[in-house]
Amino acid sequence: MVMESNKLLEVTGLTMDFGGLRAIDQVDFSISAGEIVALIGPNGAGKTTVFNCITGIYEPTAGDVVIHAPGLAPRRINGMRANRITSLGMARTFQNIRLFPAMTVLENIMIGRHCRTSTTILDAILRTRKSVRERHETIEESYRLLAKVGLAEVANEFSANLAYGAQRRLEIARALATAPFLLLLDEPAAGMNPQETRELDELIVRIRADEQVAILLIEHDMKLVMNISDRIYVMEYGKGIAQGTPREIKENPRVIEAYLGEEVHA
């Protein structure tokens, strides 16, 4: 019972069909407060689709996605609009980076504050006290998060001009700006060099501690996954095939088979 109340996200029987293709088939998983959980699997296993289903980009064909926002009653969020889910406290990054290219780095993060502020059109035109205060808070918080991911010097650059690794970190900061209790990262290390990946490793652990978020992570870099995850779920062809601690997963024959025995031991 104590364990139950600690759960942040519970997914049961999640299924997603695209026409005739079943991209996800009866997947179950859950995340508790303070955890870093990894979701791994070969290309095309359906990991990104899981993210899209639980963040409201797609409406799942079947199954239950229930979030337990701190201080709120549990809610089933199947088919809820993506922005509602984000304001409930679940934020994500994208595998194929989706920043706002013609906006500055700082402005990108400021968008994350949108759902935590409430300045209306009239407030903005009349520049009411509230709008001035919220604007100030937005800018302060954005600079704080920028410093956290090490992008403070490029705050006023266009985000399109950043290097790849920096863009990935900017996406993380933008998601953090929505003040989530659960952060979903889709292949944050993709395209990073080994040095950047090591730094990312530390960054993720630091974010969990400082921002008090649980993290669900899709990643192909096994070293990163094994280093930082508390638990791992493995998917193949849309199905969950294994779950456990990094040690258990490394030894699981089913997983080794799925990966042809190679990468797990890397």
Ligand X SMILES: Nc1ncnc2c1ncn2[C@@H]1O[C@H](COP(=O)(O)OP(=O)(O)OP(=O)(O)O)[C@@H](O)[C@H]1O
For another protein, the closer of residues 39 and 242 by Cβ is 39
133 binds, among ligand X, another protein, Mg ion, none (CB under 5 to 8 A by kind): another protein
* Contact string (CB under 5 A) for Mg ion, positions 35-64, x = contact: -------------x----------------
Report the site for another protein in 199-218 (rule: CB under 8 A).
none
What separation in angstroms does the CA of 35 have from each of 14, 54, 107, 128, 261? 21, 18, 30, 41, 27
DSSP lists the bridge partners of residue 232 as: 38, 244
Helix (H/G/I), strand (E/B), else coil: 102: coil
119 interacts with another protein by CB under 8 A? yes
The window from 34-42, 99-107, 225-233, 251-259 that contacts another protein (CB under 8 A) reads: 99-107
Residue 222 and residue 228 in contact, taking contact as beta carbons nearer than 8 Å = no
Cβ nearer to ligand X, comparing 95 with 117: 95
* Residues between 9 and 38 with contacts to another protein, criterion CB under 8 A: none
Paired residues of 216 in beta bridges: 37, 184
Instruction: List strands edge to edge, sheet with 231-236.
Output: 90-92, 182-186, 214-218, 36-40, 231-236, 239-244
Asked if 217 and 51 count as a contact pair (C-beta separation under 8 A), the reply is: no
With residue 214 as reference, give the H or E element that holds it.
Answer: strand 214-218
**Among 8, 9, 36, 45, interactor with ligand X by CB under 6 A:** 45
Residues that bind ligand X (CB under 6 A): 18, 21, 23, 41, 43-49, 95
Residues that bind Mg ion (CB under 5 A): 48, 95
